[in-house]
Structure 1
Amino acid sequence: MAKSAVKFRDTVAAYDRIAGEIRAGRFAPVYLLMGEESYFIDRLAEQLAASILDEAERAFNQIVVYGKDSDAGQVINLCRQLPMMGRYEVVILKEAQQLRNIEKLSLYTQKPSPTTILVICHKEKNVDKRSALYKGCAANGTVFESVRPRDYEIAAWLQQFVRQQGFTIDQKALSMLTDHLGTDIARIDNELHKLTVSLPEGTKRITDADIEANIGISKEYNNFELCRAVVTRDMQRALLIADHFARNPRENPLLLTIMALFGQFRDLFVVNYLRWLARHKGKPFPQDAELMGILRKNNTYVLNEIKQQAALWDNRKVFQVLGLLREYDAKSKGLNAGGAPDGELLRELLLKIFLL
């Protein structure tokens, strides 16, 4: 099967559009919610379950079935039933990827009942887009493809997500969250919910202190501060943070730290290369708006910091640092590490960087 062309930004845009249609009461007869990122699939299914029928109607007309406990024939029979005392019958098929003979659902999706709304939650992978099932859903209903974010995409999404909840978030607090929680959107949502309900009434700005107090991520000892210490050549501060990481390895995995450092030095390399092109090839250095697009940043304060930090590093040394990070990425996965613990590997890596 060909790799999907859908990007994370497409998933977010489609999610917002479909969620808006549901809030407006515009329902499709069939929803195929599919893909690797389960968070958006679950949220849309929950919204549909809460929106189509009122509480009294759900007792009679809303049915939830699970793929591993059913087969396509049983689901089709449920969909062909008439609703009792209401406009719609709602059939929600969860874990559809486990449904026996799932392709036979195409017998229904090619001509769905006008009085039934079928919601198919197909996680872990996509339905084959060449199949009759997919084509029937696309022609007669709504198809949603949920793609997982890449590490560089999560910060922009989280910033927008926080804004939708009625808050703003400081750049350091944002970095602390994304470094600690990675691209696990469900976990981010859960932690952010716990955080926002714990904030004093009237608070609209989330700071690094709030993250430390409510999520347990240190505002002094984190990947954001480590990266800043390294690129500003503050060896004492960097090694102090590394010692803290060594004492708390479960909360500070080496692989995430290496990824954070790699992203930081990759940005320095790009800025320095663009400056070299401007000096030696006569190409104009990009304006801030263009440069933010190149670096995939959405904050001018962060952009200005990167430009200032890049001036401290010759690209030959940056290239050497990137090589060291690749080497220690392999060691963090157990290759040629000699049994050394993560804390020792990180300290060794930092000393090599500062000795360049």
Structure 2
Amino acid sequence: MAKSNTITYQAILNKLRAKEFAPIYYLMGEEAYYIDKISDYIESHILTEEEKAFNQTIFYGKDSSIGAIINAAKQFPMGAPYQVIIVKEAQQLKAIDDLRFYLEKPLPTTLLVFCHKNGKLDRRSKLVQEIEKKGILYTADKIYDDQVPKWITEYLAERKITITTKAAEMLSEFLGNDLSKIANELEKLIITKPTNMPGITPELVEKNIGISKDFNNFELLKALISNDILKSNRIIRYFATNERANPISVTLVVLFNFFSNLLVYHSLPEKNDAIAAKALGVNPYFVKDYAAASRRFPVTKTEQIISMLRNYDAQSKGISNSSADAGELLKELIYKILH
């Protein structure tokens, strides 16, 4: 079987679709989206509805024992080529190491699936070694924030729907990197999208998700880069009156990531789009923003801004700050960045 560091989500799905089954699938990690997608596929596609009645069992870690799960896994299917056993919330199972005794001789007609979220097995354990020898061990890691717009674009492309760069950035900024949450919102957009509209636009996002296409961190960055003081202040005022939808913590992270990347851009000996995009881990489309920002903010100023962002992040958490609210802090910070 493929080792966990080489098997991918798509490779697992491809094997399942080709009916190449493993006796055990141990799905673990911080990104619940991929764990759910794989287990949902197995739950929905391996057996027919008639076969499921006697051959598909769902366990929950909190309410189950590893002994009961192993006993079930040792049973032969009834009137079906396989039986499917899915263990949800496997991170709550006790004595999980006892599973290795079953893996010494797993039943080939049983598909045993463990969904272990928000954590991982110890890779040094004998259990991990046995899982990798006999089946599939898959680790679902969170994707980085700067990878989210690409993920959104690819998710929609699979459904033959386009999305503008700005709309993808708006969703990324607003939703973070929780892929399950993002997928749910994208499905809402797909449903509400007019049939004559080829793709997702900022206007559609604004109307259905509640994100302003004009007052968001994406637009704030553009205003700072272009030294548009009026627009910057308008956005900050909007943030102050809509603090719940525009928390200062998110704005500070967006600004910190941008200016940290800008410092990297300054250090590049070659600044063509391809090299810069790879070094910064961004879409080549955004390299022009770093090029413009590098002219607006030289190295010394960039370093000062990064230091300021750390300071205001601390103040926003109540450190060395007894009275200023989030709106006041942000207004003061943006003034210092612009001047």
> Could you tell me the TM-score, scaled by structure 1's length?
0.90
Q: 1:339 to 1:23 in 2, by over 3 A?
A: farther
Give the counterpart of 2:316 among 332, 337, 350: 332
**2:279 aligned with 1:294, yes or no?**
yes
Tell me how large the CA RMSD over aligned residues is: 1.6
Give the counterpart of 1:344 among 310, 321, 328: 328
Give the counterpart of 2:231 among 237, 256, 260: 237
1:170-214 CA deviation, whole Å, 9 max, x = no partner?
111111111111111111111111111110125332111111011
> Could you tell me the TM-score, scaled by structure 2's length?
0.95
Cα displacement (A) at 1:239: 0.9
**2:280 aligned with 1:310, yes or no?**
no
Q: Which runs of 5+ in 2 are unaligned?
A: none
Give the counterpart of 1:38 among 32, 40, 43: 32
Q: 1:321 to 1:16 in 2, by over 3 A?
A: same
Q: Distance in 2 between matches of 1:144 and 1:245?
A: 41
1:3-54 CA deviation, whole Å, 9 max, x = no partner?
xx96xxx7xx701111121122221111000112111111110011111101
Which residue identity is paired with 1:175? E
> Runs of 4+ in structure 1 displaced over 4 angstroms?
none
Cα displacement (A) at 1:344: 1.1
Which residue identity is paired with 1:316? T
Q: Secondary structure at the match of 1:252?
A: coil
Question: 1:272 touches 1:311 (CA, 8 Å); kept in 2?
Answer: no
Question: 1:31 touches 1:143 (CA, 8 Å); kept in 2?
Answer: yes
Q: Distance in 2 between matches of 1:141 and 1:183?
A: 29
Question: 2:89 touches 2:115 (CA, 8 Å); kept in 1?
Answer: yes
**2:122 aligned with 1:117, yes or no?**
no
Cα displacement (A) at 1:324: 0.8
Which residue identity is paired with 2:295? A
- What are the residue-to-residue correspondences of 1:126-205 with 2, within 5 Å? 126-205=120-199
Counterpart for residue 49 of structure 1: 43
Q: Distance in 2 between matches of 1:322 and 1:241?
A: 21
Q: Distance in 2 between matches of 1:194 and 1:83?
A: 39
1:56-84 CA deviation, whole Å, 9 max, x = no partner?
11111000001111111100110011111
**2:86 aligned with 1:95, yes or no?**
no
1:141-166 CA deviation, whole Å, 9 max, x = no partner?
11110111222232222222222222
Question: 1:37 touches 1:124 (CA, 8 Å); kept in 2?
Answer: yes
Q: Which runs of 5+ in 1 are unaligned?
A: 278-284
Question: 1:268 touches 1:310 (CA, 8 Å); kept in 2?
Answer: yes
Q: Matched residue pairs, number? A: 336
Q: Distance in 1 between matches of 2:338 and 2:178?
A: 32
Counterpart for residue 280 of structure 1: none
Cα displacement (A) at 1:339: 3.4
Q: Distance in 1 between matches of 2:150 and 2:321?
A: 35
Q: Distance in 1 between matches of 2:63 and 2:124?
A: 26
Give the counterpart of 1:216 among 207, 210, 217: 210
Q: Secondary structure at the match of 1:340?
A: coil
Which residue identity is paired with 1:326? R
Q: Secondary structure at the match of 1:335?
A: coil
Question: 1:110 touches 1:137 (CA, 8 Å); kept in 2?
Answer: no
- What are the residue-to-residue correspondences of 1:250-265 with 2, within 5 Å? 250-265=244-259
